[in-house]
Amino acid sequence: VAWRDRGEIILVDSDEEAQLKFTALADGGQLRMPLGKTFFASSFGMVSDRFGVLWMVLAQPRPTTG
């Protein structure tokens, strides 16, 4: 399977969880876009893992009710 033309998305609830997952996937892989704040997410980044699979990690914290 050629993964160059597609990617997988990991959606998490916190920036901390996004950082953990992003760091784990980047180990032995290649950074495509550093994890950081964007207009659509509190954290977003792209990385190809050691097998060449493209991952997009996206944090969208849930609003607190109060």
Query: Per-residue confidence of the chain (66 residues) as pLDDT tens digits?
Result: 555 567 899 999 999 999 999 999 999 999 999 999 999 999 999 999 999 999 999 998 777 776
Taking the model in full, what pTM does it have? 0.82
pLDDT at site 4 = 59
Q: What residues have CB less than 8 Å from 41, skipping those under 6 apart?
A: 58, 59, 60
**pLDDT recorded at residue 53:** 92
pLDDT of residue 6: 78
